[in-house]
Amino acid sequence: MSALFVKSAKHLKSHILDIEFSDGAHRIIDFAPFIFSVGHPDYERYKSESGFIGFKIEDGNLNWDDYTMIFPT
């Protein structure tokens, strides 16, 4: 069994991404509930859509700003 990783991610709107995983599964994930509930000041920049869409896929994970916020698989 191989490790699961993020293959691609497409911004749909606001804080919602369509994520494709290495096993071919797609998931639509709304990150807003998480981002807006976290009280940490480092996450303030992701409350704006323009700050949120600055993600990259690195090592099979969604990553924002040098691992300030990460969505690992």
Domain total for the chain? 1
Task: Give the confidence band of 72 by pLDDT, cuts at 50, 70, 90.
Answer: confident
Which residue type does 5 have? F
Looking at the domain assignment, is residue 51 inside a domain? Answer: yes
Tokens representing residue 51 in the block: 């700050």
Whether 7 has a pLDDT exceeding 80, the answer reads: yes
Instruction: In whole angstroms, give the CA distance from residue 2 to residue 15.
Output: 29
pLDDT tens column, 29-65: 999 999 999 888 999 999 999 999 999 999 999 999 9
pTM: 0.89
Assigned domain for 53 exists: yes
- pLDDT of 1 > 70? The answer is no
- Which helix (H) or strand (E) is 53 found in, with range? none
Output the DSSP codes for 3-51. Answer: PP-EEEEEEEETTEEEEEETTS-EEEEE-HHHHHH---GGGGGGGSHHH
In a domain, residue 1? The reply is: no
In a domain, 14, yes or no: yes
Question: 48 lies in which domain range?
Answer: 6-71
CATH number at 52 reads 3.30.2020
More confident residue, 1 or 50: 50
In a domain, 25, yes or no: yes
